[in-house]
Chain A
Amino acid sequence: MSLYDLLIQPFADYAFMRRALVGCLALAVGCGPVGVLLMLRRMSLMADAMSHAILPGAAVGFLWAGLSVPAMSLGGFAAGLLVALAAGGVARLTPLREDASFAAFYLISLAAGVLLVSARGNNVDLLHVLFGTILAVDDVSLIEMAGVASFSLVGLAVLYRPLVVECFDPGFLRSVGGGGSLAHYGFLVLVVVNLVAGFQALGTLMAVGLMMLPAAAARFWVRGLWALAALASTLALVSGYLGLLLSYHGSLPSGPSIVLTAGGVYAVSVLVGPCGGLRSRYFPGRHRAA
Chain B
Amino acid sequence: MADIIRLHGVTFGYERHPAVHHLSGAVRTGSLTAVVGPNGAGKSTLLKGIMGLARPLEGRVELVGLKPAEVAYLPQQAEIDRGFPISVLDTVLLGHWRTIGTFGAVTAPLLARGRAALESVGLGDFERRAIASLSVGQFQRVLFARMLVQDARLILLDEPFSAIDDRTTVDLLRLVCHWHGEGRTVMVVSHDFDQVRAHFPEALLLAREPVAWGAAAEVLSPANLARARAMSEAWDEHAGRCHRGAAA
Q: Residues of A at under 8 Å CB distance from B?
A: 40, 158-159, 161-162, 164-165, 167-179, 223-225, 228
**Cα–Cα, bound, A169→B94 (Å):** 10
Q: Residues of B at under 8 Å CB distance from A?
A: 51, 53, 68-69, 71-73, 75, 79-81, 84-86, 91, 94, 97-98, 101-103, 130, 132, 146, 150
Contact of A224 among B72, B85, B97 (CB under 8 A): B85
Whether B98 contacts A171 by the Cβ 8 Å rule is no
B98 contact set on A, CB distance < 8 A? 176-177
Known: A175-B53, A225-B85, A225-B86. A169 touches B102 (CB 8 A): no
**Cα–Cα, bound, A159→B101 (Å):** 11
A173 contact set on B, CB distance < 8 A? 97
**Cα–Cα, bound, A176→B156 (Å):** 13
**Cα–Cα, bound, A172→B74 (Å):** 8
Whether A168 contacts B84 by the Cβ 8 Å rule is yes
Contact of A167 among B51, B84, B132 (CB under 8 A): B84
Interchain residue pairs with CB less than 8 A apart (23)? A158-B102, A161-B102, A167-B84, A168-B80, A168-B81, A169-B79, A169-B94, A171-B79, A172-B80, A172-B94, A174-B53, A175-B71, A175-B73, A176-B69, A176-B150, A177-B68, A177-B98, A179-B102, A223-B85, A224-B85, A224-B130, A225-B85, A228-B85
B94 contact set on A, CB distance < 8 A? 165, 169, 172
Whether A175 contacts B86 by the Cβ 8 Å rule is no
Whether A170 contacts B79 by the Cβ 8 Å rule is yes
What are the 8 closest A-B residue pairs judged by CB atoms, nearest first? A168-B84, A171-B79, A176-B97, A175-B73, A171-B75, A169-B80, A225-B85, A223-B85
Measured CB to CB, the nearest residue on chain B to A41 is: B81
A225 contact set on B, CB distance < 8 A? 85-86
**Cα–Cα, bound, A174→B97 (Å):** 11
A161 contact set on B, CB distance < 8 A? 102-103
Measured CB to CB, the nearest residue on chain B to A36 is: B85
Whether B130 contacts A40 by the Cβ 8 Å rule is no
B91 contact set on A, CB distance < 8 A? 168
**Cα–Cα, bound, A180→B133 (Å):** 26
Measured CB to CB, the nearest residue on chain A to B71 is: A175
Measured CB to CB, the nearest residue on chain A to B79 is: A171
- Distance (Å) between the CB of B96 and the closest chain A CB? 10
**Cα–Cα, bound, A171→B86 (Å):** 16
Given A169-B79, A175-B53, A176-B69, 9 more pairs with CB closer than 8 A = A158-B102, A167-B81, A168-B81, A168-B86, A169-B81, A171-B73, A177-B68, A178-B101, A225-B86
**Cα–Cα, bound, A228→B73 (Å):** 31
A172 contact set on B, CB distance < 8 A? 75, 80, 94, 97, 146
- Distance (Å) between the CB of B117 and the closest chain A CB? 15
Contact of B130 among A167, A178, A223 (CB under 8 A): A223
- Most A C-beta atoms less than 10 A away, residue of B81, B85, B101, B132: B85
Whether A175 contacts B102 by the Cβ 8 Å rule is no
**Cα–Cα, bound, A160→B129 (Å):** 21
A40 contact set on B, CB distance < 8 A? 81, 84-85
Whether B97 contacts A178 by the Cβ 8 Å rule is yes
A167 contact set on B, CB distance < 8 A? 81, 84
- Distance (Å) between the CB of B78 and the closest chain A CB? 9
